[in-house]
Each structure stands twice: as structure tokens, then as C-alpha cells.
Structure 1
Amino acid sequence: MMHIAVVIPAYKPGSNCLDLIEDILAAGFPHIIVVDDGSGPEYADFFSSLLSIPQATVLRHAANQGKGRALKTAFHYIVNEQLPFDAIITADADGQHLVSDMIKLSREMAEEPNHVVLGARDFNHKEVPFRSRFGNRFTRLLFRLSTGTVLTDTQTGLRGIPVKYLPRLLGVLGERFEYEMNVLAALKKNYIPISEVPIQTVYLDANKSSHFNPLKDSFHIYKVFLLYGISGAASFGLDIGLYWIFIQLLRDEAPELFIIFATIAARVLSSLFNYYINRNKVFKQGSRQSFYRYYLLAGFIMLLSAASVHLLYAEWLGRGEVILKVMVDAVLFIFGFIAQRAWVFRKD
């Protein structure tokens, strides 16, 4: 078996957290690192009691900084102290991660020592709260579209991570719950393999102990995906506006080809805007190769858009060519979105 430590970020932990820690040590895990994420004076006795456990280390934040920062604090400690661990397992402090499942992760990591191993819950059980079931399905879909990676559970906190990857994960953006999602995206970009292990789905009191704020924390998790949509929507609006302008200018000048000419002129200008936003604000990476790839893709989509609208256009539509273009480009937007993620702005 690998030498594995367990990392537990804790914010106002419940009474079952101590039982969890004792069960983890009883199962044979050699060390536990607990991060007190600013739980406050009323929890001081709980964290002080952990100091009497030789196999436990307590790290403290003076104020609550979020789960992502708590995990980074533990990662910094392991890397800076050069602790003799092959890997770590991250677990939540609310008792929803079972020790038996941690053992399953450790066995999988022993067989696949270069993989990040995720504990995957089954969200089809009736006891799973609706917000958790809906949130996982929605996030899973967005994650698949934006990264190309198909995962069963993108929000799991039970994760096995080889220590050699921790320095790279310390550079991942995010301080709160969004950090865990960003880590999954970073694994894809860094070509780090991922495995999933089925684990039990446990929700205590309908998950009331969770500190997840549905509105605020969902925004932080999804904002990276929202940037995709905002960039695309802004570019799409600019493209449609320019297309309409060029339609008015070219309708009488080139009655046979005005749709194609208007499509090309509008797409060239809007694509310059879109490339700049995607490179500097969305993907935050790009090279000379990404520029060439982008315009190869843009040219292909432009021709496909023009040809589709031209072929589908009929006289009975009257002046409905703008509406037809909106419908065609709505379909092509999904294709372009996936192609940019997988090819144009990929990490070389």
C-alpha cells in the first residue's frame, strides 16, 4: 500500500468529526492533517483536543477563507515540509465520506499511482436532495462541454491525489468551492489521468451541515463556464449587428451573393473581438499556434454558416434571412465552443 495522509478542511465541524478522525486512524492511515478554516473561539477546544493525537496535525486560519484556501494550506504544508507521503486523500469534515470508501480509493491509487482518483457518488438514489442531484447533473454537463472530460461526480470532495502533483495544483485559481472544479479542469490541461471509484452516497439531515451557499458558491463554480457564454454572446451579438448592417449595404449592390458577403465581413470583425476575449479573459492562454487554429476554425464555421443560410434561404421568407442566420449559428456555436476548448486553446 502507498503511504497516504488524509487531509480534512474543517469549518465549524460537527460532533461526528472526531469520530471520523479516530476511525481513519484505526483503519491504518498514518497521518491526518486538519485545517481549521477560521471556525472561531467556540471550536477552539475541539481543535485543541486533536493536538493530543500524535498522528494528527492541525493547521489554522485566523478567519474563514474558504475550502479551496484550506486545501492549499494543507498542500503548502506537505510540500514545504517535504513530508514522506506518496499521496493524500481529501475528505470533508461532515461525516459524509466513509472510511471504507477512503480505503477503496487507497487501493485504486496503489494500482494506478499516477492517477488522481475521485470518489464518485450515485445521484439516482431517492435520498439525494434535489439541489444536489440537479447541481451535479448541471455541473457535469457544463464540465463535459468545456473540457471534454466525462465524469460521474464533478463535485466530490473525496479525492486521492499523488503528492507529486501538489505543486501544480497550488497554482490553480480559486479560494472556495470553485477551487475543486478548477482542479479537475487543470488535470485535463496538464494531461494528468483521472480514475473514478464508486462510493456510497451519504447525506445527513438532507445535507443541512453543508456550508455550500447555493447562490454565491454556484457563481464561483460556474463563472469559468459563464465566461464562455458571455464571450460567445457578445461576439454573437456583434456578428449579428454587423451582419444586419452589411445586409442593408450590399442587398442592392450584390443581390445574388449579398448573404455570403455580409456573413464574411461580419464574421471577420466579430472573430477578432472573440479571439482577443477568449485568449485573454476566458482561456487565459494562447500562442501563435492558437491564433492560426482559431482562424482555421473561424473560417470553417464561417463558410459552413454562409453555405447553410444560403442553401436554406427561400423567397417565402421575405426578409427573414437574419432570423435564419440566428438559428443556424446557434447550432454552430456549440460546435465552435467544443472545438476551441479541445483544439484551439489547448495547452501545447
Structure 2
Amino acid sequence: MIVLVPAYEPDARLVTLVHDLRAAAPDLPVVVVDDGSGPAYAPVLAAARAAGAEVTGYAGNRGKGHALRHGFAHARAAHPGHDVVTADCDGQHAVVDVLRVAARAAAEPGAVVLGSRLFVDEVPWRSTVGNVASRLLLRAVTGMRLVDTQTGLRAYPAGLLPWLAQVPGDRFEYELEVLLRAPGAGVPVVEVPIATIYLDGNASSHFRPVRDSVRVMAPLLRFAASSLAANAVDTVMLLVLQVLTGSLGVAVVGARAVSATVNHAVNRRHVFGRARVPWRVSLARYAALAVTLLGATWVLLAALTHAGVPLLVAKIGADVTLLCVSYGVQRAYVFAHPAPAGAVGAAAAADAVRETVGTGGARRSFPRRT
């Protein structure tokens, strides 16, 4: 096990974290990734090195996601076979919580472990904005109900590091992308309650509420844009084929075939990060999903209109619902990036994943998602 700390423009709290970790667990390596902080922060990084940390990094700020991937690559090269616990550099994570997450990871091989804040005290508004936005998105497209989707205190198994290197996103959206892709890769996610610590109103955070919330929501926004573009293609082709063939049936089927092919290509390349699933496989899965959604649309519209809902309102409600369903299925199945076999195999050794919630040790059991 190692502790990985991405750091951008750190202060003395980074040095304190390194010192306290080394004092509490002398055999636990601590790796600090300098995310292009610049010469002004060299003394702080030198002090972290003197306190016992390995310091790596690069010139120019590239974002937390990039720093994490850089750190994972360093871990694979310098500490092969070691699980990785990530922690923030700004004092938000107590050493006892870092060690608690590490212990839970050791007890649940193959799982991603989140150190989740309970948000029971006063929470800075920009932290609330980011967590609420990402929590709603995650629930809508994966069904996972997590307490804290924005936590930087996490544990990743060593076997998962190659998969983590493929997850896109260079800034705060990266950690949400990991959670969005976990169900499709067969990676379980568990939570451990930790203390909620905000120093000086979280003034040291580099999270930008509007810009970074948009980044967090970007995957679903791209998907929605792709769907709208496909509808436009479908409409244009319907009109063109109707004129060329004079047959409404041919026009409807032809337009839907063209728009679906375009939508599949766009989603494969631009929405879900250039899926590694073979083209024919993803296209067959996409076609099966399209047929299923077509039937689901009919069922929903029939049920809603039978209940007295106006057709237009029913159509909008059905489309929004199935948009989220379609997004989740395409991410988790149609274009899924499988995790390394070793990581999934380790996770499969457990019969069920236990998710810790609340403060009193209350636990709920969730089957591992595949």
C-alpha cells in the first residue's frame, strides 16, 4: 500500500500530512505529485521530501486527473503490486481516516474504497454544489447511491491501475468518470465514513463551482447533444427519403438506420472515450438497445396516456427517463471498458459488497455490479 497525494500550489499542510503519515505508519510510502505548482512552491515540496515523501511531477498545471494518472504510473513503476490510497494535500483528510480507508481496501481486494464525508455540519457552498451535481448524475445513469462522490480520499487496488490510466478527464471530472465507469467494468465501490474537515471555509480548494460543475456534468451533456444531433439527422433523412422513394415506410426505416449509425459512431468516439470494444460488438449491442428502448417508449407512452397524462407531456417524460437509461446502459454495457482480469477476479472472491453508511456502523449489503 502507498499513499498518493496530488498537490497544486501546496502549503505547510502538505508537509504536516506527510510528517504525520510517516510517524503513524513508517513503512507506508508517501508519493507527492507536483501538478506544475511552479518555483514559488519548491520550498514546500522540498520540505515534504525532507519529511519522507517521494516527490514527482511535471512543469505546468494540468489538473488533478492528470496528476492522479501520473501518480498511478509512478506507483506501477516504483511500487509494483501495491494498492494506492489517494489523499488531498490541503488538510481535509485526517491521518486516522487515511489509515482506515487503507485497512478497508486491504479487507476488500478488488474494490474501490471511498472515504465519504457525512456533511452533517456546515459545509462550504461550492463543495455542496459540486457534490450534489455529481451525486445526482451518478444516481441517474448508474443507479449507485453514494454519499460522497467528490471525495479525494480513495483506495484503488493495484490490479486496477492499468484501467485507471485509460479513464479520461484531466481535472476534477476524472474522479467522477472513474465512478461512472466502475459498474460497466465490474468494479465494486464501497464507502467508509470519515470526518468532514473544511479549513478556512475550504479557501484552499481549487474547485471552481460553475466551470468544474460543467466539467462534471460534461459526459451526460455530450450524450444529450449527440442524441439531439441524431434526431436532427433522422428528421432530415426522413424528408429526403420520402421525396426520393415516395414510401413512408422506407423513409422511416432508412432514416432511423442512418441516424442510429451516426449516433453509434459519435457516442463510440466522442462520448464514451473511444471504446476499445470491437466495432461490430458495440454496434450489435447498440442495435439491441435501440429495439429495447423503442418497445419501452411504447409501453411508457401507453401507460402514461392511459393514466390521463397528455401525450406531449408523456412523450417528454418518457424521453427524459429513457435518455438517462440509455446513457447508463451504453456506458455500462455497449461501450464498456473492462477492468483488468486480476482486479475483477479479486473482487469476485467476495460474495457481496458491503457499503458502510451512517455514523453508527450501520451497514447495507449491495450485490457487486457487473
- What TM-score comes out, normalization by structure 1 length? 0.80
How big is the shift at 1:90? 0.8
Percent same amino acid among aligned pairs? Answer: 39
Aligned to 1:94: 90
The number of aligned residues is: 329
How big is the shift at 1:94? 0.4
Matched, 1:337 2:327: yes
Q: Are residues 199 and 29 of structure 1, via their aligned partners in 2, closer, same or farther at CA, if it must alter by over 3 Å?
A: farther
How big is the shift at 1:186? 4.0
Following the alignment from structure 1 to structure 2, what is the Cα–Cα distance between the partners of residues 241 and 305? 22
Q: Are residues 331 and 261 of structure 1, via their aligned partners in 2, closer, same or farther at CA, if it must alter by over 3 Å?
A: farther
Following the alignment from structure 2 to structure 1, what is the Cα–Cα distance between the partners of residues 302 and 84? 57
Aligned to 2:34: 36
Following the alignment from structure 1 to structure 2, what is the Cα–Cα distance between the partners of residues 268 and 36? 49
Q: Are residues 130 and 299 of structure 1, via their aligned partners in 2, closer, same or farther at CA, if it must alter by over 3 Å?
A: same
1:234-274 Cα offsets, whole Å, 9 max, x none, are 2234445667x59x98xxx99xxx8x998656544432322
Aligned to 2:268: 279
The worse-fitting range, judged by mean Cα deviation, of 141-150 and 203-212 is: 141-150
Aligned to 1:317: none
Verify the 8 A CA contact 2:63 2:172 in the aligned structure 1: yes
Following the alignment from structure 1 to structure 2, what is the Cα–Cα distance between the partners of residues 61 and 75? 14
- What TM-score comes out, normalization by structure 2 length? 0.76
Verify the 8 A CA contact 1:34 1:59 in the aligned structure 2: yes
Following the alignment from structure 1 to structure 2, what is the Cα–Cα distance between the partners of residues 168 and 308? 37
How big is the shift at 1:330? 4.1
The equivalent position to 1:72 in structure 2, one of 69, 74, 81, is 69
Higher relative contact order (CA 8 A, sep 6+): 2
Verify the 8 A CA contact 1:6 1:29 in the aligned structure 2: no
How big is the shift at 1:201? 1.2
Q: Give 5+ residue unaligned stretches, structure 1.
A: 315-319
**Which secondary structure state, in structure 1, belongs to the residue aligned with residue 136 of structure 2?**
helix
Which residues of 2 match residues 12-31 of structure 1 at below 5 A?
Answer: 12-30=9-27, 31=29
How big is the shift at 1:12? 1.5
Which residues of 2 match residues 185-334 of structure 1 at below 5 A?
Answer: 185-239=180-234, 245=239, 266-283=255-272, 284-285=274-275, 286-287=277-278, 288-305=280-297, 328-334=318-324
The worse-fitting range, judged by mean Cα deviation, of 192-201 and 144-153 is: 144-153
1:150-197 Cα offsets, whole Å, 9 max, x none, are 322221100112223223322322222222222333433432222210
How big is the shift at 1:91? 0.6
Verify the 8 A CA contact 2:223 2:271 in the aligned structure 1: yes
How big is the shift at 1:38? 2.2
Following the alignment from structure 1 to structure 2, what is the Cα–Cα distance between the partners of residues 309 and 264? 21
1:323-343 Cα offsets, whole Å, 9 max, x none, are 875565444434433333344
1:200-234 Cα offsets, whole Å, 9 max, x none, are 11111221110122233333333222211111222
How big is the shift at 1:312? 8.5
Q: Are residues 240 and 141 of structure 1, via their aligned partners in 2, closer, same or farther at CA, if it must alter by over 3 Å?
A: farther
AA matched with 1:135: G
Aligned to 2:344: none
Following the alignment from structure 1 to structure 2, what is the Cα–Cα distance between the partners of residues 312 and 70? 48
Verify the 8 A CA contact 1:8 1:90 in the aligned structure 2: yes
Following the alignment from structure 2 to structure 1, what is the Cα–Cα distance between the partners of residues 88 and 229? 39
The equivalent position to 2:3 in structure 1, one of 1, 6, 23, is 6
**Which secondary structure state, in structure 1, belongs to the residue aligned with residue 85 of structure 2?**
strand
Verify the 8 A CA contact 1:116 1:161 in the aligned structure 2: yes
Which residues of 2 match residues 95-114 of structure 1 at below 5 A?
Answer: 95-114=91-110
Q: Are residues 240 and 302 of structure 1, via their aligned partners in 2, closer, same or farther at CA, if it must alter by over 3 Å?
A: farther
| Greater gyration radius | 1
**Which secondary structure state, in structure 1, belongs to the residue aligned with residue 190 of structure 2?**
strand
Following the alignment from structure 2 to structure 1, what is the Cα–Cα distance between the partners of residues 214 and 181? 19
